[in-house]
Amino acid sequence: MADKHHIALIGSGTIGLSFAALHLTKSTTSTVSIYDNRPDLYDYITEHLPGYIDPAECSEKSYSDRITLAPSLKAAVEFADIVQEQGPENEDFKTKLWPEVEKFARSDALFWSSTSGITATVQGKGMKDKTRLMVVHPFNPPHIMPLLEVVPGEKTSQAAINKTLKYWRSLGRTPVVLKKECTGFVANRLAFALFREACSLVAQDVVSVKDLDAIMTASMGPRWSVAGPFKSYHAGGGEGGMQSFMEKIGGTVQNCWEASEKDVEKFKINVKAGEKWEEKMWKQCEEEYGNVDTADRDAKTKKVLQAAAGEKK
Amino acid sequence: MADKHHIALIGSGTIGLSFAALHLTKSTTSTVSIYDNRPDLYDYITEHLPGYIDPAECSEKSYSDRITLAPSLKAAVEFADIVQEQGPENEDFKTKLWPEVEKFARSDALFWSSTSGITATVQGKGMKDKTRLMVVHPFNPPHIMPLLEVVPGEKTSQAAINKTLKYWRSLGRTPVVLKKECTGFVANRLAFALFREACSLVAQDVVSVKDLDAIMTASMGPRWSVAGPFKSYHAGGGEGGMQSFMEKIGGTVQNCWEASEKDVEKFKINVKAGEKWEEKMWKQCEEEYGNVDTADRDAKTKKVLQAAAGEKK
């Protein structure tokens, strides 16, 4: 069980609400203050937050008096030991925010950004003490998905990283620390690499959007829920492990890589140049899926995570 | 429930055994004949096949008298309505095999190859009737993983494809027909595209093998068990769907793609040139994973598949 924490959330879009739900649900003592400059904040939170909280995990009675809506940034952060921002995704907003937060926050508070691309080194450039700022990038929605990519900046201290890991692990989450700041961090780099290939194969008419998704849910999805790609191919190599796998299958792997490169170029799978393939792909998605029932997806995903972890229920 | 079928399996390596288990378990009336020129075939099958069959799904009593070991190719295929090969992965073997099979098999039998790369058009070049040969490429191991990539050759008939789909669906599997023959088919093209990026990120020391696998099992694995990449990003775009997703996030996607291209080149993520990154990766796999418990992996994967399908148990 988590220690008692007070978390200030800056920004209450879908990620902010999902994080609020996560903090409140997974710890029964922690408190959350929300700061957002939208004028209807009270009505908005009252209407939308309950959709993120499973009543079987956390009753409204249990969480409703642990949230405060802060009238100012100062009020939000002054008592917090964790300040977590999910504001607009632009450098100007974030680089201005942190020196302000620093003015009002406790000297031992941790600062986390949910950004999907603006590094802590960049975000913290106007701060006095850069040691406690880091990226904590969720995989959406964070109240369902366990991954948190922890990406320290150049000045982030090991102590701040350790406290961050301890917090997330106490909530049963999976924080993973990246060793270097890089474009897109790791999860999106991996997902988008596969997505580019998916776009290319649809552009070439090898497969439809729907059939490609069917391939994923019947193969790599379940496999990678239980064992990631390295562990999977290492197992595939038998006693010789990954080395043996690459010695046997490496030629095929390389042929696929080379075919992919050629096709990506031929079919201009490039967001800037790629209107033709994009329109075709958009249309197929719209025709096939319309409005996706994300509640059903999330309920199934929770069960998948339990099954992959070997939990009984 | 499946109709009664007689399936001839040519080749009894791990894929052959897994297919034997699948056919015998998912239909309680079908019979299987196995042809393999290994001298110890009887002992080998007796020892290894039971490991592929869940006694809760199919008792030994229920399947043992539905298998025959064939002393010749003729004996294996002459009464079969499905002939499925998982022999050596070379063109010479396969192009010589099918004309032989054609001599002995029923005129209405379906011919399936488990190849991961040699197309039906190439395999069938010496056959008289090429209309009933196609690739049926499994995702290993097929007795666990539902996907079967059905890749018709240039001459394969729609009737043969339809019969193939009907068979696999009757067994509760997920056959997906590709519209064109292409290098590596779809599942491996997608998996290897992500794997290349994974190798690149490990080569750059952004992340370890173990942490990259942890990222996958805590994010894309479970997500793609329930919804493939197109459906996921279409949902991520909200009401505007995939078009809206790409308009909002397309810039980030493109930045990742360009960073990936540069890094793959810089770190020579190429099987032919890549001894340095490969050795590092092999070592990490060996140190981290040693011998993988695939029985545990497969048991969890079955539960993940049930959870993703919304099944109760």
Instruction: Test A205 with B180 for CB contact under 8 angstroms.
Output: yes
Of B183, B256, B288, the CB nearest to A192: B256
Task: Give the per-residue pLDDT at A273.
Answer: 80
DSSP codes of every residue in A163-183: HHHHHHHHTT-EEEE-SS--T
| Cis preceding linkage at B141, omega within 30 | yes
Burial category of A22 from C-beta neighbours within 10 Å (exposed 0-12, middle 13-18, buried 19 and up): buried
Chains A, B: CB contacts within 8 A come to 388
Name A38's Cβ contacts closer than 8 Å, sequence gap at least 6: A12, A44
Nearest in space to A289 (alpha carbons), one of A216, A222, A209, A218: A209
Chain A residues near residue B289 by CB distance under 8 angstroms: 230-231, 234-235, 241
| Distance of alpha carbon B252 from alpha carbon A271, whole angstroms | 10
* Intervals of chain A under pLDDT 50: 1
> What is the token pair recorded at B52?
């592929």
Chain B residues near residue A203 by CB distance under 8 angstroms: none
The alpha carbon dihedral of A169, A175, A176, A180 has a sign of negative
Instruction: Test A217 with B224 for CB contact under 8 angstroms.
Output: yes
Alpha helices in chain A (DSSP H): 14-26, 41-48, 60-64, 73-77, 91-104, 120-123, 158-170, 185-203, 209-217, 220-226, 229-236, 241-266, 275-289, 294-308
Residue A42 at interface with chain B, using a CB cutoff of 8 Å:
no
Q: What is the DSSP letter of B110?
A: E
Q: How far is A59 from chain B (nearest CA, A)?
A: 24
Residue A276 at interface with chain B, using a CB cutoff of 8 Å:
no
Q: Please give the helix or strand (H or E) that residue A268 lies within, else none.
A: none
Domains of chain A by range and CATH? Answer: 6-183 (3.40.50.720), 186-308 (1.10.1040.10)
* Intervals of chain B under pLDDT 70: 1-2, 312-313
Of A246, A256, A306, the CB nearest to B188: A256
Instruction: Test A184 with B219 for CB contact under 8 angstroms.
Output: no
Instruction: Test A271 with B250 for CB contact under 8 angstroms.
Output: yes
Q: What Rg, from alpha-carbon coordinates, does chain A have?
A: 22
- Tally the C-alpha atoms within 13 A of residue B60's C-alpha that lie toward its C-beta: 7
Nearest in space to A183 (alpha carbons), one of A151, A222, A148: A151
| Distance of alpha carbon B310 from alpha carbon B313, whole angstroms | 9
Amino acid at B118: I
Task: Give the per-residue pLDDT at A3.
Answer: 72
Task: Give the per-residue pLDDT at A312.
Answer: 64
Q: Please give the helix or strand (H or E) that residue A7 lies within, else none.
A: strand A6-10
Q: How far is B125 from chain A (nearest CA, A)?
A: 22
Instruction: Test B306 with A306 for CB contact under 8 angstroms.
Output: no
Nearest in space to A207 (alpha carbons), one of B254, B150, B53: B150
> What is the token pair recorded at A50?
């309950």
Residue B174 at interface with chain A, using a CB cutoff of 8 Å:
yes
Beta bridge partners of B84: B9, B112
Instruction: Test B301 with A197 for CB contact under 8 angstroms.
Output: no
* Interface probe, candidates A239, A247, A257, A302, chain B, greatest B C-beta count within 10 A: A257
ipTM of the modeled complex: 0.97
Distance of CA B207 to CAs A61, A195, A311, B197, B200, Å? 42, 21, 28, 12, 10
Residue of A nearest to B239 (CA): A291
Nearest in space to B308 (alpha carbons), one of A211, A224, A217: A217
Of A260, A289, A301, the CB nearest to B226: A301
> What is the token pair recorded at B262?
């540069």
Nearest in space to A105 (alpha carbons), one of A37, A2, A8: A8
Task: Give the per-residue pLDDT at B110.
Answer: 98
| Distance of alpha carbon B198 from alpha carbon B257, whole angstroms | 13
DSSP codes of every residue in A70-132: -SSHHHHHTT-SEEEE---S-HHHHHHHHHHHHHHS-TT-EEEE--SS--HHHHTTT-S-GGG
Task: Give the per-residue pLDDT at B312.
Answer: 64
Q: How far is A106 from chain B (nearest CA, A)?
A: 32
Burial category of A308 from C-beta neighbours within 10 Å (exposed 0-12, middle 13-18, buried 19 and up): buried
Beta bridge partners of B69: B34
Nearest in space to B179 (alpha carbons), one of A209, A131, A265: A209
A107-157 pLDDT, tens digit per residue, is 999 999 999 999 999 999 999 999 999 999 999 999 999 999 999 999 999
Task: Give the per-residue pLDDT at B1.
Answer: 44
The distance of Cα B241 from the centroid of its chain, to the nearest Å, equals 31
